A and B are shown apart, each in its own frame.
Chain A
Amino acid sequence: MMEVVTEIPPFERFYLEQREIVLGFLRRRLGREAAEDAFQETFLRALRGYPRLEHGEHLRAWVLTIAARLVIDSGRRARPVAAELPELPVEDGRPAYAQLEHLADGLPPTERAAVVLRYGYDLAYDDIATALGSTPEAARQAASSGIRRLRASGGIA
């Protein structure tokens, strides 16, 4: 099957398309007020990472992962919260992703995010690094140690 590379949209269009779902997610996790600060920080981080995106696919997963990372960070600072990825809408019915998400449930949050974004959404480590607020090398390590953990637990062959 021919893969058509989706062009990266002007940020304005990306922002208008994703802002409601990002704010909704942050409000559910952080409450109304904290969500507003996290909303701004999410899109500022997205702006910082935007020039390094290689294509315009899975942008919703990408920005929600940035938001999820902020939720995790704020949970570390304030109170322990269940650190987990947002319930990502399944895009173009990717069964691989749904399966992977389920498999990756038991992983620590960073590894889980790295595994899902790398192997479920096929994002480059640069993009994953932006989503996680870390470096491409750290993202690669998180993904591979996540995979090792899954193998060890018998989740995947």
Chain B
Amino acid sequence: MTVSTVSTVSPELDARFREAAASAGLLDVGYDVVESAIGPLFLAATDRGLCRVAFQPEPDEYLDRLARAFGPRVLRSGSSVDNARRQLDEYFAGTRHGFELDTDLRGAAPFAQRVLGELARVPFGETTTYGALAQRVDAPRAARAVGMVMNRNPIAIVLPCHRVVGSNGSLTGYAGGLELKERLLRLEGVLL
């Protein structure tokens, strides 16, 4: 039984340390859970760029994976993802059509990196198909593998896997749910 559970680290002291850690460049990964127009988002960045945008913010599960992929110095720090948060807000508000963000895909396999690199070139307001994306990475039979890469896209929205649909035009699937995929495509004026 705990008699005294007084939390002595004040929010100010806590925030001061987190800011100091981030600005001293001591983090392998800085992350935060932010509110957005589509609900809470988990955002994470390394010194090379954004490395996670995820819809179901369960940091505990993500932290171990991030630590394995990028190093153990994983710390919650708002400033690390501030720029990404702001650009996402602008995107949801309809005032931004492209992201000016570096990304860090070190955690992904080489094939996934190539596919995600091509995905990044699919412009706002347009869609492509799994098969077309497979052709663009010179693996025309790999539509299914491309689908798997989309399913595990580490940087949702910024790497626009919501713009990839089935060859018959069906929405197929989305890590954030089909409803969200439809909503994003409406926001971009694809679906009316």
Contact = CB atoms under 8 A, between A and B. Distances in A.
Interface of A: 8-13, 15, 19-20, 23-24, 27, 36, 39-40, 43-44, 47-48, 50-51, 53
B8 A10 contact: no
B8 A20 contact: yes
Contact of B20 (A8, A23, A40): A40
B106 to A, nearest CB: 16
B7 A11 contact: no
A116 to B, nearest CB: 25
Contacts of B14: 19
B9 A23 contact: yes
A24 B27 CA distance: 25
Nearest to B17: A40
User: Considering residues B24, B26, B63, B71, which has the most beta carbons from chain A within 10 angstroms of its beta carbon?
Assistant: B26
Contacts of A8: 67, 72
A24 B6 CA distance: 11
A145 to B, nearest CB: 32
Contact of B27 (A13, A36, A47): A47
B72 A10 contact: yes
A149 B24 CA distance: 40
Contact of B26 (A10, A23, A36, A44): A44
Nearest to A19: B9
B24 A12 contact: no
B170 to A, nearest CB: 39
A10 B66 contact: yes
Contacts of B24: 44, 47
14 contacts: A9-B67, A10-B72, A11-B74, A20-B7, A20-B9, A23-B9, A24-B8, A39-B9, A40-B13, A47-B24, A47-B26, A47-B73, A48-B26, A53-B72
Given A23-B13, A47-B27, 7 more contacts: A10-B72, A11-B27, A11-B72, A20-B7, A40-B13, A44-B21, A44-B24
Contact of A23 (B8, B28, B64, B73): B8
Interface of B: 7-9, 13-14, 16-17, 20-21, 24, 26-28, 59, 63-64, 66-67, 71-76
Contacts of B27: 11, 47
Contacts of B16: 40
B73 A51 contact: yes
A48 B66 CA distance: 18
B75 A11 contact: yes
A67 B13 CA distance: 16
Contacts of A20: 7-9
Nearest to A47: B26
Nearest first, the 5 A-B pairs at minimum CB distance are: A10-B74, A10-B63, A10-B67, A47-B26, A11-B73
Contacts of A47: 21, 24, 26-27, 73, 75
A130 to B, nearest CB: 13
Contacts of A19: 9, 14
User: Considering residues A11, A13, A19, A23, which has the most beta carbons from chain B within 10 angstroms of its beta carbon?
Assistant: A11
